[in-house]
Amino acid sequence: MLPELLQRFTQMQVKEVQDREAIEPNHIYVIPPNKDVSILKGRLVLLDPTAPRGVRMPIDFFFRHLADDQQERTIGVILSGSGTDGMLGVKAIKEKLGMVMVQDPLSAGFSGMPQSALSTGPVDYDAPAEKLPKKLVAYVKRVGKVPLEPPSLKREPLALEKILVILRVRTGHDFSLYKRNMLYRRIERRMEIHQIDSINDYLLNLQKNEQEVTALFKELLIGVTNFFRDREAWDALKQAVLSPLLGNKEDGSTIRIWAPGCSTGEEAYSIAIILKECLDTLSQRSDITIQIFGTDIDSDAIDVARQGVYPANIALDVSADRLSRFFIRDDDKYRIKKRSET
C-alpha cells in the first residue's frame, strides 16, 4: 500500500519498481515485496533476496550498488527508522565521493537508522527532516556546475601545501604522500558542502575553524571495509598462502600477522577467522600460536575494532556458518566471540 499512501502527499508519480526500469526525474520508486533492488547504468534491477527473512538489509544492498553505478553522483538520505540498515551503504557512498544526508536523530520518530548512519562518521549533512530539502537542492545545483576535476584546484599547489601543513599541525598526521588527485577530490567535496568556490577561501575557513579541520581529517580517513571484502581474494589467500604456511610450521611455532590501516577491524578479524579454519585441518599442529596486529591512525575506528561489535548488516558478507561459530548475536548486533568461545 505504500505507493498509494505516499501519493497523497506529493505531486510526483509514485510507483512500484518494475524490473529493468529506467529511472526518470520527479518519480518515487518503491521496492516491491520480497525483492532486493539494484541498479545498472541507470536502470533499476529486481533480484530475489538471498539473505533469510529477518536479516535482510535492502537499503545497504541498494546503496552499495548505487555507489558502484553512479560513483560521485550518488546521494544517500537516511530518515527516521529503526535498526541499522543503511549503515554500510553510507560508507560505500562516501568511498565513491558521494554525498550523505541524515535526519537529526532527535527529530526522528525512530532514531535507530539515523543514529547508526551518523556513527559511521562520514556524513555531510545532519539536520531535521524539514531542513534537508533546501540543503539537497543547493548541493545539487552547485555540483552540477563543478567539473569532476576542477582546474582551479590544480593551479593552486601552494594552497594545497598549506592545507597539508594545517592538518599536520592540528592532527599530528602527514598526508603529503597521499595521491594528489585523491586529496583534491576530498578537499573539493568539503568545498561543495560549504559552497566555497576558491581553494584559497577554503584555506582561510580551515585556519579559522577547528571543526572543519576535524571534518577534513575524517574525510581523508574514510575507511570503507567489510568482512571478506573481495571474496575471491580471501579464498586465494586461504588456499594459496595461509594453509601452506601453517602446514609447514613446526609444533610450538608462532605466526605474526600485521593488518595496517585496519579501520574498524573487519579485515583483521577476517584473517583470524580464516586462520582458525585452517588450524582446524591441522589436528597434529594445534599448538601453533597466532598473533594478529591491527593498526590505524583513526583512533575512533580503532575503538570500534577493539570492541569487536558490529551491526547485523554483516550478515550480507559473513556466511551463516561463520556467524554461528565466530559471533554472538545480541539484539541487532553481532559480537566477535573470544577464543575460548569458538
Query: 127-137, pLDDT tens digit by residue?
Result: 999 999 998 99
Q: Does the pLDDT of residue 10 top 90, yes or no?
A: yes
Q: Check if the beta carbon of residue 93 is closer than 8 Å to that of residue 59.
A: no
What is the model's pLDDT at position 194?
Answer: 84
What is the model's pLDDT at position 285?
Answer: 56
Mean pLDDT of 138-161: 67
**If you average pLDDT over every residue of the chain, what do you get?**
86
How far is 94 from 118, CA to CA, in rounded Å?
Answer: 12
Q: Where are the domains of the chain?
A: 2-127, 151-220, 231-341
- Dig out the grid coordinates for 108 from the structure: 526522528
How far is 232 from 243, CA to CA, in rounded Å?
Answer: 16
Q: How far is CA 309 from the centre of its chain?
A: 16
Q: Which has the minimum average pLDDT: 58-62, 228-232, 279-283?
A: 279-283
What is the model's pLDDT at position 151?
Answer: 47
The answer as to CATH 3.40.50.150 being correct for domain 231-341 is yes
What is the model's pLDDT at position 340?
Answer: 63
Mean pLDDT of 100-106: 94
Q: Does the pLDDT of residue 155 top 60, yes or no?
A: no
Q: Does the pLDDT of residue 292 top 70, yes or no?
A: yes
**2-127: CATH topology:** Rossmann fold (3.40.50)
Look at phi and psi of residue 110 and say left if phi exceeds 0, alpha if psi is from -120 to 50, else beta: beta
How far is 57 from 63, CA to CA, in rounded Å?
Answer: 10
Q: Does the pLDDT of residue 150 top 70, yes or no?
A: no
- Dig out the grid coordinates for 28 from the structure: 518515487
Q: Does the pLDDT of residue 335 top 80, yes or no?
A: yes
* Among 294, 220, 291, residue whose Cα is nearest residue 264: 294
Which range of 109-123, 144-158, 276-290 scores highest in mean pLDDT? It is 109-123
How far is 316 from 208, CA to CA, in rounded Å?
Answer: 43
Q: Check if the beta carbon of residue 99 is closer than 8 Å to that of residue 74.
A: yes
Q: Does the pLDDT of residue 152 top 80, yes or no?
A: no
Q: Check if the beta carbon of residue 3 is closer than 8 Å to that of residue 24.
A: no
Reported as a pLDDT band with limits 50, 70 and 90, residue 12 is very high
How far is 209 from 101, CA to CA, in rounded Å?
Answer: 22
Q: Which has the minimum average pLDDT: 3-17, 47-61, 149-163?
A: 149-163
What is the model's pLDDT at position 311?
Answer: 83
Q: Does the pLDDT of residue 148 top 50, yes or no?
A: no
- What does the pLDDT look like over 294-306, one tens digit per residue? 999 888 889 889 9
- What does the pLDDT look like over 178-211, one tens digit per residue? 888 778 878 887 887 788 888 889 999 999 999 8
Question: Percent of the chain scored above 90 by pLDDT?
Answer: 44
What is the model's pLDDT at position 195?
Answer: 81
